[in-house]
Structure 1
Amino acid sequence: MLNDPLAEVRVILTAEGGSCARARQVVREAAASWGLSEDLVDDAQLVVTELVSNGIDHGEGPITLVVSRKAGGMLVEVHDESPAQPQLRPVDPSSPRGRGMQLVQALSVKWGTKPQNSGKVVWAQLEA
């Protein structure tokens, strides 16, 4: 299934810390089956950690992770049931938090959000 270049991997995650590790594993396995570079895998794992963490901290309900193969890379989508949009904030050097979306922006070719009937999708496209 994962060898199919058009394959999509979809996983439901609970809103708890262990879900970030599961999300990284899903991204790694999908990228490996698609023959994507190790550098892309590393960036995608960091991006998915930030997106899932935001879903846990600021979202509602279960989180759905969708990873899709795209020409030159992959698309990572995180769905949650909160309509609140992520905020790209200036970095506060005195705060240990608040850099997640800055990292997503820096590592992605592009990223964005899509409102849905029940919440939103935050997505990031990564390329080698």
Structure 2
Amino acid sequence: MRLVLNDPLAEVRVTLTAEGGSCSRARQVVRDAATSWGLSEDLTDDALLIVTELVSNSIDHGEGLITLTVSRKSGGMLVEVHDESPKQPLVRPVDPSSARGRGMQLVQALSARWGTKPHARGKVVWAELKA
């Protein structure tokens, strides 16, 4: 799948299922959008890691289908992941003995800002990246 976006301020929205292959598809959507919008490689790499963490969390802890929305913003990109669970993500202290549990810390570190919005059917977790 290759996206061609003629509108520099376009929004890309895809529906994903709660399975491992969805992370790969989400990364491809983000990469295609960032390339089309002429965003830097560094910003693109950060966005790829963020979308992987957000979609992984939706697969592991969410419910139902996952909707990924990627929007071009002045000087960057907004990544939004919607799932049907109202359960909010947590930034946990690092447990050095655990191989997991660092995802939201990565999102927090790599984004200019991030947050959650309640939705009629679940929640949206979003991260804004700036060049």
Q: TM-score, with normalisation over the residues of structure 1?
A: 0.98
Compute the RMSD of aligned alpha carbons: 0.7
**Residues 33-44 of structure 1: pairs in structure 2 closer than 5 A:** 33-44=36-47
Q: Distance in 2 between matches of 1:79 and 1:96?
A: 25
Q: AA paired with 1:104? A: V
Which of 81, 84, 106 is residue 78 of structure 1 equivalent to?
81
Could you tell me which amino acid in structure 2 is paired with residue 37 of structure 1?
Answer: S
Instruction: Report the Cα offset of residue 3 of structure 1.
Output: 2.9
The equivalent position to 1:3 in structure 2, one of 2, 6, 26, is 6
Aligned to 1:22: 25
Q: Is residue 114 from structure 1 mapped to residue 123 from structure 2 by the alignment?
A: no
**Match of 1:68?**
71
1:104 counterpart residue number = 107
Structure 2 CA distance, aligned partners of 1:72 and 1:3? 18
Q: Share of identical aligned residues, percent? A: 82
Deviation at 1:2, TM superposition (A): 1.3
Deviations 1:45-99 (A, max 9, x none): 0000000000000000000000000001000000000000000100100000000
- Normalising by structure 2, we get a TM-score of 0.96
Question: Unpaired runs of 5+ in structure 2?
Answer: none
Structure 1 portions without partners, runs of 5+: none
> Which portions of structure 1, spanning 4 or more consecutive aligned residues, are displaced by more than 2 angstroms?
none
Corresponding residue for residue 92 of structure 1: 95
